[in-house]
Amino acid sequence: MRSSQNHPNQTSGVYGFILLLFIFCIMMIIHQSANASHMLGAELTYKHLSGQKYQVQYTLYRDCNGISAPANMNLKVQSENCSLTSFHSLELDLTSGKELVNFCSNQTSTCQGGNYLGAQAWKYSCEVIIPANCSDWKFSVTDCCRNAGITTIVNPTSSNIYVEALLNNTLGQNSMGEFVNSPTIQLYLNQTQIINARVNATDGDSLVYTLSTPNTGSETYVDFQSSYSQLRPLGTEMFINAQTGEISLVPNQVLNGVISVLVKEYRNGIHIGSVSRDIEVSVKPSYNIIPTLTGVNGSNENTINICKNAALSFKIYSYDADQGNQVKISWTSDMPEVRVRVGAGTNPTTEVLWNSNNAVKENYTLTVYAQDNACPVNAVQSRTYLIHVSDLNLQIKSQNVSCEGANDAGIQAIVSGGSQPYAFNWSDQNISTSSRKNLNAGTYSVMITDANACSTTQQVIIQEGHSAPIINLGGQLSGCNGMPLKLEAGSGTNLYEWSNNASTSSIEVTTAGNYSVRVTNQYGCSAISNVKVVFQDCAGNDQQQQSRAISTMYPNPVVDKVNLRIENPGEGVISFKILDLRGKIIESHISGNTSLNHSLDLSNLPSGAYILVASTSRDVQSFKFCKQ
């Protein structure tokens, strides 16, 4: 029978395993504690390279009193909507490690082997293939842990730093630009200070900045101590400019706290991406007065509105209240071809010159930094200026007159860009609406002015409508009793409406009275003609007398002369009238000649379309012709 007592070798093996496990756990705790003591924060951004390929960059902020930056970090890429997940290794860029604190020239930080606590930014990156178009791609990195010295949250050493970046590539590829400035990690007690979290919008999309609660995981957050919160992470009120990412505050207590800024990107109103920065900030007692920067031209205003293609010029004044300090000015901007001139002296003036004809988007930013030379640490103040370019775009939609002489045209002015409200000023009338109706043919122009007094003008020509049919029933016609009289309204038109309800191009009547016809052509244009018909006894007259008196007109088109054949002129004079298409009499001719052939000299008549009306005692007839 086997004894239940453990063999000595087995016992020592178990104890050895437990001891190794204990030592491993202790080392992990020490490792995490080391990380926790020296991690200041992190951020995660991405850039589209080509096709479905992206470069993801992780920045780790750490102080220089502990272990070195790790050689790599783990990146998780996930889309729940597309059920896709992958893991990647972010590799350390050994050329990074930029210091975050500006020491005066005779001081050395712990990053360089000195005595003053320094901090560095270490960058990691890798390339990732995004295999599908999904609205919820999430890049994320988790690391442990935060510094034990943080006083504004509960159990900081057991609190991870989790940062993520979101991508919606269903509307096309996108780059979520890097943060322009290194984070501010040291503030001074009871002084107004600016923390700048501006991101470079490389695609020209709209960015919105907000304060957020620092994450410990995808859906978990730090637990603030009482009197601290997302909007008051340092215990005092903080104001963030949603357009520039500029945070202003006056710290009122010495502490170590954490701040998180969320930056969302929108394209045509749709959320397409976001990044965040999670950073530890220390508030120190003031030994130095921070330099200041004014707003535009010495004011407190940071926003400038200009019109597209306008020249911009303004000045920014710096000041340091500490005697003997020298202010150094630097700047960053996304304004193309901007010129920045920094003057001389202890408190230099900065002049900004720009022509907005280079603008390709509506909003630009300029961030100016004023850095003093105080020791051991230089103080830096920044100020961001928002330049809004009003680029008014005016599109005119118009509808021409339907038929010649009508007043049924319309105009619609469609405006985009600039700043609402828009004012409309029409050239022909004192009208302030964006649309016009019941217009005649002619030339119209409208000037649009936006809320920033930027304007643009556009002209539109309303074309005359289609010509109405030319008809002339003769005014008065005589017929012979017992024989029908034919009334003709021409041909080549679409619709005929006679007063006797007939719908043909001609009718035959046997009853005296007044007749009329409305003729509508293929363009919907109409004309009306009236005639009075009388009948008389024509006994003894031959067939030739009963026919139309005026039979032909030639040539057509006319060069110099026009000829008419009068088959049955009757008695009295023969009159000829030349009318334009509106019915205006251009020329009149009277002939006492009762011969069969007549010729009119029209050599002085301008080229165009006309109507010839010939009248005898027996008949009135009209002919439409063209003069070359």
CA distances for 503 relative to 17, 268, 477, 507, 514, angstroms? 111, 57, 21, 9, 17
Residue 445 tokens read as 């122009």
Query: Mean pLDDT score of the chain, rounded to an integer?
Result: 86
Mean pLDDT, residues 536-563 taken together:
65
Query: What single letter denotes the amino acid at residue 364?
Result: Y
Between residues 311 and 585, the one the model is more confident about: 311
β-sheet bridge partners, residue 380 = 371
pLDDT at 429 over 50: yes
Sequence-distant (6+) residues with CB within 8 A of 270 are 168, 171
Between residues 58 and 204, the one the model is more confident about: 58
Q: How far apart are CA 279 and CA 455, in angstroms?
A: 45
pLDDT confidence band for 74 (50 / 70 / 90): very high
User: What is the predicted pLDDT for the residue at 472?
Assistant: 84
Residue 511 tokens read as 């009853």
Q: How far apart are CA 502 and CA 377, in angstroms?
A: 103
pLDDT confidence band for 285 (50 / 70 / 90): very high
DSSP secondary structure, 48-64, as one string: EEETTEEEEEEEEEEET
User: What is the predicted pLDDT for the residue at 58?
Assistant: 97
User: What is the predicted pLDDT for the residue at 3?
Assistant: 34
CA distances for 51 relative to 174, 176, 476, 621, angstroms? 11, 16, 82, 76
CA distances for 190 relative to 187, 236, 254, 324, 524, angstroms? 9, 11, 10, 22, 80
Mean pLDDT, residues 134-146 taken together:
94
pTM here is 0.67
pLDDT at 582 over 70: no
Mean pLDDT, residues 114-138 taken together:
93
Q: How far apart are CA 117 and CA 281, in angstroms?
A: 14
Between residues 498 and 611, the one the model is more confident about: 498
CA distances for 244 relative to 330, 384, 426, angstroms? 18, 7, 38
Percent residues over pLDDT 70 in the chain: 89
Q: Please write the tens of the pLDDT for every residue from 487-542.
A: 888 776 679 999 999 999 888 888 899 999 999 988 888 889 998 888 877 544 43
3-class DSSP assignment, residue 529? strand
Residue 144 tokens read as 């442990």
Residue 621 tokens read as 């007839």
β-sheet bridge partners, residue 515 = 531
Between residues 84 and 203, the one the model is more confident about: 84
pLDDT at 365 over 80: yes
pLDDT at 372 over 50: yes
Among the listed ranges 290-294, 365-369, 478-482, 528-532, which one has the minimum average pLDDT value? 478-482
Mean pLDDT, residues 378-405 taken together:
92
User: What is the predicted pLDDT for the residue at 572?
Assistant: 65
Q: Within 10 Å of residue 109's Cβ, how many Cβ atoms?
A: 22
H or E stretch covering 29: helix 8-38
**Residue at token pair 């590799």:** 91
Distance spanning both ends of the chain, measured CA to CA: 133
Q: How far apart are CA 139 and CA 88, in angstroms?
A: 10
Percent residues over pLDDT 90 in the chain: 56
pLDDT at 387 over 70: yes
User: What is the predicted pLDDT for the residue at 21?
Assistant: 37
User: What is the predicted pLDDT for the residue at 487?
Assistant: 86
Q: How far apart are CA 397 and CA 415, in angstroms?
A: 11
User: What is the predicted pLDDT for the residue at 30?
Assistant: 35
Burial class of 605 by CB neighbour count within 10 A (0 to 12, 13 to 18, 19+):
middle
Alpha carbons within 13 angstroms on the beta-carbon side of residue 222 total 36
Among the listed ranges 1-5, 291-295, 542-546, which one has the minimum average pLDDT value? 1-5
* Chain-centre distance for alpha carbon 503: 56
3-class DSSP assignment, residue 518? strand
Mean pLDDT, residues 150-168 taken together:
95
Residues in the chain: 628
User: What is the predicted pLDDT for the residue at 593?
Assistant: 66
H or E stretch covering 489: none
pLDDT at 477 over 60: yes
* Chain-centre distance for alpha carbon 82: 30
User: What is the predicted pLDDT for the residue at 13?
Assistant: 41
User: What is the predicted pLDDT for the residue at 581?
Assistant: 64
| Share of the chain residues as helix, strand and coil, in percent rounded to the nearest 5 | 5, 50, 45
List the one residue out of 241, 277, 275, 242 whose CA is nearest residue 259: 277
Asked whether 523 and 466 are in contact (CB, 8 A), the reply is yes
3-class DSSP assignment, residue 569? coil
**Phi, then psi, of 367 in degrees rounded to 5:** -110, 125
pLDDT at 566 over 80: no
Q: How far apart are CA 257 and CA 281, in angstroms?
A: 5
Asked whether 507 and 487 are in contact (CB, 8 A), the reply is yes
